[in-house]
Every structure is written in structure tokens, then in C-alpha cells.
Structure 1
Amino acid sequence: MDVKDQVLKAMLEAGKPVSAGDIEKILGIDRKEIDKAFNALKKEEAIISPVRCKWEPVRK
């Protein structure tokens, strides 16, 4: 499982908007890798930001 999939799974399990710092605490992955995953997920329109600096998966 790549970092992007791990980040998305952690966001789904959190059940609320999370920051990159929250994901870092949950997964123990380097912040730079999480930021790259966030950017890729944003480009794919898989996550949205309901609150500044917080992200959640798009509900389909």
C-alpha cells in the first residue's frame, strides 16, 4: 500500500476533517510524504477542505 492509500484510509477511519499533523501522528510517516500524498489526492479530487488546514475524503 502506498502512502497516498494509507493517508486516505486514515482519513476515512478518523471520520472527521484532519490535518497533515493528525495523519503524521496516526501513521508515523514523514510529514513531507504526507504533504505529497495530500497534493496528489487534491489533484484527483479525492479530498476536500471543509475547514482551513483540515481535509476529509469526498463523499460519493
Structure 2
Amino acid sequence: MFEGHENFSIFAGATKVSQISGVDKKEVDKIMKELKKDETIYSPKRCYWALKE
């Protein structure tokens, strides 16, 4: 889904992802919810997400 995600090693919240990508925060929230269901991302702390390795 995210090209080059192999190099993604920072924690980011939906707001930060929205700012960086230019995608509406509500859309980012929906995408992140799907990624959480698929266990592609996890939450190391509240409101922050990281890719599972």
C-alpha cells in the first residue's frame, strides 16, 4: 500500500500522516483502521502507529 514502506521506521499518528501525504485525516483514519485489522500496523503507544516487522 505504501511504496517504500520497508524504510518506514518512525511512529506516526493520523494527523502527521495526513500532513505529510496531503490526504484528508478522516481518510487516513479509515485506512489506518483497515491496516490495524490486517495487523499491518500496531500501536506502540496511544494515538501512534508503526509498521509491524
> Across the two proteins, how many residue pairs are aligned to each other?
50
Normalising by structure 1, we get a TM-score of: 0.75
Task: Confirm whether residue 39 of structure 1 aligns to residue 33 of structure 2.
Answer: yes
Deviations 1:19-54 (A, max 9, x none): 001101110101111011001000100000001100
The amino acid across from 2:42 in the alignment is I
Unmatched 5+ stretches in structure 2 = none
Q: Of the candidates 23, 34, 49, which is equivalent to residue 29 of structure 1?
A: 23
Whole-Å separation in 2 of the counterparts to 1:25 and 1:32: 12
Residue aligned with 1:49, SS: strand
1:44-59 matched pairs, under 5 angstroms: 44-59=38-53
Unmatched 5+ stretches in structure 1 = none
Percent identity of equivalent pairs: 36
Question: 1 or 2, which has the higher helix percentage?
Answer: 1
Q: Please, what is the CA RMSD of the aligned residues? A: 1.5
